[in-house]
Structure 1
Amino acid sequence: MPVWAHKTRRYLAALLLSFSLAGSVGAQTSDLVSNSALRVCADPANFPMSSEDETGFENKLAEFIGSKLELPVEYTWYPMATGFIRNTLKAKKCDLVIGYAQGHELVLNTNHYFTSVYTLIVPKEGDLAAAQSLSDPVLKGKRIGIIAGTPPSAHLARNGLIARAKAYNLVVDRRHESPAVDMLDDLAAGDIDAAILWGPLGAPLVKTDYPDLKVVPLIREELPPRLFFRITMGVRQGEKVWQRKLNSLIRRNQDDINALLSDAGVPLASDLGTEMLEISN
Structure 2
Amino acid sequence: MTPAHLRRWLAPPVLAIALVVASDREAAWAQVPREVLRQAPGQAQGQGSGQSQDGLDLSIELVDPKVLRVCADPHNLPFSNEKGEGFENKIAELFAEKLQKKLDYMFFPQATGFVRVTLGSHRCDLIMGFPQGDDLVQVTNPYYRTAYALVTKSGSDLAEVTTLGDPRLKTKRIGIVAGTPPGTDMAANGLMGNARPYPLMIDTRIDSSAEAMIKDISSGAVDAGVLWGPMAGYYAKKSDPPLRVVPLVKETAGPKLAYRIGMGVRYADQNWKRQLNRLIQDSQGDINKILLDFGVPLLDDNDRPITAQSSTKPP
Task: For 1:224-263, list aligned pairs within 5 A.
Answer: 224-263=254-293
CA deviations on 1:103-158 (whole Å, 9 max, x unpaired) are 21111100111100111001113211111111111111111111111111111001
**Number of residues of Structure 1 aligned to a counterpart in Structure 2:** 255
Q: CA deviation at 1:29?
A: 8.2
Which one has the bigger helix percentage?
Answer: 1
Pairing partner for 1:81 from 90, 95, 111: 111
CA distance in 2, matches of 1:30, 1:196: 44
Shift of 1:220: 1.6
Cα distance in 1, alignment partners of residues 86 and 253 from structure 2: 33
2:210 is aligned, of 161, 180, 198, to 180
1:45 maps to what in 2?
A: 75
Q: Distance in 2 between matches of 1:61 and 1:212?
A: 25
Matching residue of 1:54: 84
Q: Give the structure 2 partner of residue 279 of structure 1.
A: 308
Distance in 2 (CA, whole Å) between partners of 1:225 and 1:147 is 15
Alignment of 1:37-186 (within 5 A): 37-186=67-216
Tell me whether 1:199 sits opposite 2:251 in the alignment. no
Q: What TM-score comes out, normalization by structure 1 length?
A: 0.86
Helix, strand or coil: the match of 1:34?
coil
Residues in 2 aligned to 1:160 and 1:78: alpha-carbon distance in whole angstroms: 39
Identity %: 45
Summarize deviations over 1:244-275 as a string: whole Å, max 9, x none.
11011111121221122112211110125x22
Q: Detail structure 1 runs of 4+ shifted over 6 Å in the superposition.
A: 26-29
Compute the TM-score of the two structures, normalised by the length of structure 2: 0.77
- The letter for the 2-side match of 1:71 is K
Letter in 2 for 1:208: K
Q: Contact 2:63 / 2:123 at 8 angstroms: preserved in 1?
A: no
> Counterpart in 1 of 2:13?
none
Take 1:238 and 1:51, find their aligned partners in 2: how far apart are those partners? 28
Task: Report the structure number with the largest CA radius of gyration.
Answer: 1
- The separation in 2 between residues aligned to 1:251 and 1:153, in whole angstroms, is 34
CA distance in 1, matches of 2:203, 2:139: 24
User: More deviation in 113-122 or 212-221?
Assistant: 212-221
Q: Quick check: 1:45–1:175 contact (8 Å CA) kept in 2?
A: yes
* Contact residue 132 and residue 220 of structure 1 kept, 8 A: yes
